[in-house]
């Protein structure tokens, strides 16, 4: 018997909403049947993206939820709307993938975790960096013992400034949760994944030194950070570091990840999509470098194919009646580190994770 395609609705049809649509269009067994966005121009972009055929558009996400046109929903609206919209979708019983960050604060994330879900309902969070091919390979190598017992994780992102968004909502901490929540929750999720432990304290230093200082919005100057160092200590003794710079367009690699353990070191680089593996026993001369690709990816998009894999795994969970790989608790834990880092930076002190809420 032929399985009917899963019908998807996308809430928020800006840049990321349309990126989700493109990924779903490349996946067998999925079809986008509805869009929702309160901004008419954004809905027009969505209509143009699909040629205006086969989709229904709504200005209010609640009308989409009650339309009977969708089985699953992707939330790709601005950060400050996530908590309210996600609460409505979870309560509706529809399957949902919530774009990162889950919400602006740990407390808001906790509110979403406390909403009862329907039997079989899949509620996932869009932390797709773990699915980038070289990152996925790094995770696999570390779990396979390539570095022995992991001790240190280092992540560098040197990139371009924040992009322009509809209404310029991403220029202010009050709308984003702050750069260390908005942008860096991806990296904190990877730290949590690689350590397999609980974060206990955070140290941070950073500033807004270069970007957006000449911009004005109703007379206000943007307040989002454009560079930072963050150190996270874990309860198993591991420590992780993030080096972020958002005025580093001259970098050859945008992301660099390394895990060092008792036996060796594994590194991953993007966009070159290379992985390096070295052992203490063989030293520098024994380092192996290789290019990593995933030929099963049908749409590369903005994140090196990670969003395609994310949607494929989401659909597999729905079809199989299994839990999602990236849960609401994963989303909360990533936001919690970002929130603690924002406090540590602002108040020039070490912040215990217990200060922002429970992580279990």
Residue 282's pLDDT band (cuts 50, 70, 90): very high
Residue 2's pLDDT band (cuts 50, 70, 90): low
Neighbour count for residue 300 (Cβ, 10 Å): 15
Strand extents, DSSP E, the chain = 6-11, 30-36, 56-58, 72-75, 95-99, 123-126, 150-158, 199-207, 227-234, 239-245, 255-261, 264-270, 274-279, 288-291, 351-352
**pLDDT tens-digit readout, 264-278:** 999 999 999 999 999
Cβ(134)–Cβ(274) below 8 Å = yes
What are the structural domains of the chain?
Answer: 6-129+309-326 (3.40.50.720), 130-298+333-355 (3.30.360.10)
Average pLDDT, the chain: 96
The pLDDT of residue 217 is above 50: yes
pTM equals 0.96
| Average pLDDT, integer, range 14-40 | 95
């Amino acid at each position: 018997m032929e399985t009917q395609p899963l019908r998807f609705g996308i809430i928020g049809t800006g840049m990321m909403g349309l990126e989700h649509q493109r990924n779903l269009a490349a996946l067998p067994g999925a079809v986008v049947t509805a869009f929702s966005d309160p901004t008419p121009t954004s809905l027009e972009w969505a209509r143009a993206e699909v040629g205006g055929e086969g989709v229904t558009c709504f200005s209010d996400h609640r009308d989409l939820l009650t339309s009977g046109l969708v089985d699953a929903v992707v939330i790709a609206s601005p950060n400050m709307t996530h908590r309210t919209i996600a609460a409505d979708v979870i309560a509706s019983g529809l399957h949902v993938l919530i774009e990162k960050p889950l919400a602006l604060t740990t407390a808001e994330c906790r509110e979403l975790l406390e909403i009862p879900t329907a039997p079989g309902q899949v509620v996932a969070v869009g932390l797709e960096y773990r699915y980038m091919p070289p990152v996925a390979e790094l995770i696999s190598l570390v779990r396979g013992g390539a570095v022995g017992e992991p001790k240190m994780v280092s992540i560098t992102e040197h990139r371009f400034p924040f992009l322009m968004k509809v209404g310029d909502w991403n220029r202010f901490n009050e709308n984003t949760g702050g750069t260390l929540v908005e942008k860096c929750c991806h990296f904190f999720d990877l730290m949590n994944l690689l350590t397999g432990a609980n974060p206990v304290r955070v140290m941070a230093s950073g500033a807004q030194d270069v970007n957006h200082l000449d911009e004005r919005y109703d007379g206000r100057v943007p307040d989002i950070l454009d560079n930072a160092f963050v150190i996270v200590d874990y309860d198993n003794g591991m420590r992780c570091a993030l080096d972020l710079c958002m005025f580093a367009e001259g970098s050859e690699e945008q992301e660099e990840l390394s895990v060092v353990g008792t036996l060796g070191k594994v590194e991953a680089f993007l966009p070159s999509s290379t992985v390096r593996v070295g052992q203490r026993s063989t030293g520098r001369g024994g380092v192996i470098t290789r290019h990593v690709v995933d030929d099963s990816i049908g749409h590369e998009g903005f994140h090196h194919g990670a969003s395609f894999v994310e949607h494929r795994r989401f659909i597999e969970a729905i079809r199989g009646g299994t839990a999602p790989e990236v849960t609401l608790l994963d989303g909360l834990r990533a936001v919690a580190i970002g929130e603690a880092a924002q406090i540590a930076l602002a108040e020039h002190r070490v912040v215990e994770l217990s200060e922002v809420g429970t992580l279990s």
